[in-house]
Chains A and B, each alone.
Chain A
C-alpha cells in the first residue's frame, strides 16, 4: 500500500514541478508571450501542458482506487498483484504522455537560451533590412559579439547588448532583418523582430543602407519603412543612414533623396507626437559608417537622448511624479545685491578646453607597433620612459651577477667611501702581520732536514718490505739459508751495512766466517795431498764468482737467457711461481686444512672409522659417496634416454626440437637437484654420520669391510 502511495506521490511531484515551472503564457509580459507564441506555437504548448496535467490527475485517481482495494485485500498474493497492477497503470499513463514531455523538454532548452530582455528598462531597438549593418553597429557600441557575415539572415534571433549613456544603462536589441512582405507571409525569424517592435517600448533605429550594398535599393527599404511605420507609434524614431564610406548622403540620386526626405518627415511626426517642441536641427536623420566608425557615437547619443527625453516626459506626466516632486528642491542662494557672480572657471581649464578642440589624435603605442611590422615583429622598448639622470643610460644592460655575488647586494651610494676605509684597514692589517712572524720552535737546519728525510726513507722502506712479506706470507716458501738466491745473508752485505752505519765490520765478519764450516768438499780435502797448493787458493777458486753481482730488472730481456721477448720471460716466471705456489701452501697446511674451499666440489675422502675399537673400516665421506654414486647413475640414465629419443625421432625434426627442449628441462632439473644436494645436504651430514655410527652392528660392519 505504501509503495503505491509512494509512487503516486513521486509522479505527482515531478509532474507538478513541470507544470509549475513552465510559464503560463497569459501571466508573462506580452512581449515574451508573443515571442513564445512565435517560436513555439501557443496552442501546441498549452496542449502539452494540459496533457501533463491530465496525466497527473489520472495517476492520482489510480492510486486512490488501488489503495482502497488494497485495504480489503485478503491474501498477500492478492495484494501484491494489486500493487503491480497499480504501478503498471501509472506507467502506461506516463508512457502515453512521452512525446509531449519530449516537446516540452525541447522548449525548455530553447527557452533557457533566449536572451534576457527586460521589457521595462531603457531599450534601443535596431531594425531594418537584412545586411544593412545592424549587427556591426551593436558590436561597435556594446560588448556583444554578434556574428557579422556577408550573407543575409546572419542574425536569426534577438541579441541583447548593453551600453552606457549619462551613467545609465541602456539595452540595445539587435533584430534579424525584416523583408517587405505581407504580414501573413512572414517567417519565424522576422516575426521575432516584429514582436519586439510591437511590444517593447524602445527607441527605434531604422537602418538604411545608402550604398545599396546590402542588395536592396533605397526604394525597397523605404517601402518597408512605410509598411511598418504603424509599429513606430509613440516611439522615438531615428533614421540612420549607414555605410556612408561607400556612398555619402549627398551623392545619392534625386528620387532616393526624396524617399529619404519622406522618411524623415515621418520621423519628425513621431518627434512631434512625443510632445516635445520640434527643435531645429533635431536629429532624426543621421549618417554614419560602422566601418570607419564615423558618427557611430553620435547616433548612439542621439538615440539615448531621445529615449531619455521621452521617458522623462512620460514620467512627468504620470501621477507618480507628484509623489517624488516634493522631495526635490533646488536651493538657490538669495541674491543680496546686484553684483554678477558668474561661475568661476580657472584659466587653465579654459585654455585646455580650447586646446582640446585643436588637438590632433595622439600617436599611440599601438600605432607605433603597427608601423614597425605588427604584433609579432615589433617588440616595444619598455625602457623608453625611464627617468634617469642621463638619457644614454637607458639602453644599458646592468649585470646582475658577478663572480658568484649578486651585484644588487653591493650597490650602495657610499660604496667608494667604504671601499677607501676598507683599503686603509687592510693596509694596517698587513703591517701588523709583518711585525709578528716569530715562532717558538725553530725550524730544522737544511742538513738536519736531509737527515730526517733519510731516516724517513729508510723507515718507509722497512715498512714496505714488511708489508710485502706479510701479504705473501701464505704462499712464500720457507727456504733454508743455503738457497739464498738474492744473497741477502752474505757477510759482505752485512759488512757493507755495518760500515754505512759507521761501525767497523771487520771483527763481525771474522767471527761469522770462523763459525761457518764451508762446503763439505772443501772440508774433507786432505791437506797432505796437495802440499804445494795453497788451501786458501783452492777455496778462493771454488768460491770464485764469474758473474757480477749487479743484476738487471727481472722483466728485462737479457740476451743470454734464451727468451724470445720480455712477455715470454714474464710468462715463464709466472708459470714457475705458480707451480711452486701450491706446494708452498701445502707445506704450511695442517690436518684440518684439507678442504679445498675454492673448488667447491666434494672431496672423495676416506675416513677410517673406529668400529668396536678393534678393527677400522674404510668408509667414504657421506656426501661424496652419495653424490658420486648416485650422480653417475643419473647421468648415465639421462644420457641413455636422450640417445634413445634422438634415435627414434631422428627423422622428424619437430619432434627433435620438442624433445631437445624437454631433455634440457630434464637436465636442468637434475642439475638443480644436484646443486641442492650439494649445498643443503651438508646440514644433515652430522646427523647421518651419527646414524651411520650408531646403526651398524658388528656383523654389518664386518660384512662390509674391505680388507685393509
Chain B
C-alpha cells in the first residue's frame, strides 16, 4: 500500500480515494478528487492554477529547496527488514516533520515581513490623517494621544442643562 501524490494539486491520495488515468503512452495520472480530475480534463495547467502546490512552489509562496525533502525519496530496491532500523526511521519521520514544519513557518513569516511593514505604515498614515474623527483640528488643550479627551462643556452650564440635571 502506498500513498500517492495527486498529479494536479500534489496532495496525498489515501487508499480508496480518487481516480487514476492511464494514457496511451502508459503514463499514469493520479487524482485525489474529482475537482483535480475535472481540471485536468479541461486541460488546465496546474502551474497556473492558484491553489495547487506546484503553483505555490513556483511562485515562491511555499518552501522549495530544503534538506528535509531529501529524506523522502522513492526507493525501488527493497531493504531487508531490520527492527532497529525501522524504529529509528519511524522516530526520524516525526522529527523530520517537525523540522520541516518549523522551516515552512519561518519561510512564511519572512514572506509576510513586507506586509507587516506596509500595514504599519498605513496604520500610521491613517492615524495621522483621520485623527479628526476623534479630535477636532481647532481644539485646544487636547494632547495628541491622550487616554481620555477632556471635555469643556461642563463649566458652560446653561439653563437648559440645569433643568435636565
**Which residues of A pack against B, CB within 8 Å?**
386-390, 393, 396, 398-413, 415-416, 418-419, 421-423, 425-426, 429, 433, 439-445, 447-448, 451-452, 454-456, 458-459, 492, 495-496, 498-506, 509, 536, 540, 544
Contact = CB atoms under 8 A, between A and B. Distances in A.
Contacts of B90: 399, 402, 407
A501 B139 contact: yes
Given A411-B85, A444-B123, A502-B139, A451 B131 contact: yes
Contacts of A492: 160-161, 164
B163 A544 contact: yes
Contacts of B92: 410, 415-416, 419
A205 B95 CA distance: 79
B124 A505 contact: no
A396 B80 CA distance: 13
Nearest to B68: A422
Q: Which of A404, A410, A433, A492 has most B Cβ within 10 Å?
A: A410
Contacts of B71: 410, 412, 415, 418, 422
B127 A501 contact: no
Contacts of B127: 444, 448, 451-452, 455
B93 interface: yes
B75 A504 contact: no
B92 to A, nearest CB: 5
Contacts of B99: 422-423, 426
Contacts of B141: 502
Contact of A411 (B89, B123, B151): B89
A399 B75 CA distance: 16
B117 A411 contact: no
B33 to A, nearest CB: 16
A386 B82 CA distance: 12
Interface stretch (B22-30, B52-60, B142-150): B142-150
Contact of A504 (B80, B145, B156): B156
A499 B95 contact: no
Contacts of A456: 126
Contacts of B102: 426
Nearest to A537: B159
Contacts of B131: 451, 455
30 contacts: A387-B80, A388-B80, A401-B1, A402-B90, A402-B93, A403-B94, A406-B2, A408-B78, A410-B71, A411-B85, A422-B68, A423-B99, A426-B99, A429-B103, A441-B117, A441-B121, A444-B127, A447-B145, A455-B126, A458-B134, A459-B133, A492-B160, A496-B153, A500-B149, A501-B132, A501-B134, A502-B140, A502-B149, A502-B151, A505-B156
Contacts of A416: 88, 92
Contacts of A506: 153, 156, 158
A409 B83 contact: no
B66 to A, nearest CB: 10
Nearest to A507: B156
Contact of B75 (A386, A408, A422, A503): A408
A551 to B, nearest CB: 16
B39 to A, nearest CB: 22
B113 interface: yes
A440 B117 contact: yes
A389 B94 CA distance: 26
Nearest to B98: A426
A405 B121 contact: no
B112 to A, nearest CB: 12
A499 B157 CA distance: 13
A433 to B, nearest CB: 6
B134 A411 contact: no
B80 to A, nearest CB: 7
Contacts of B164: 492
A504 B3 contact: no
Contacts of A455: 126-127, 130-131, 133-134
A502 B136 contact: yes
Nearest to A539: B159
A404 B160 CA distance: 75
A387 B80 CA distance: 9
A439 B117 contact: yes
A550 to B, nearest CB: 12
B152 A452 contact: no
B135 A400 contact: no
Contacts of B161: 492
Given A422-B96, A448-B145, A500-B149, A411 B86 contact: yes
Contacts of B51: none
Nearest to A442: B120
B67 A503 contact: no
Nearest to B94: A403
A447 B147 contact: yes
Contacts of A390: 83
Contacts of B145: 445, 447-448, 451
Contacts of A406: 2-3, 72
A503 B138 contact: yes
For the complex of A and B, the 10 pairs showing the least CB-CB separation, nearest first, are A502-B139, A499-B153, A501-B136, A441-B120, A506-B156, A502-B142, A499-B151, A441-B117, A503-B136, A458-B133
A536 B159 contact: yes
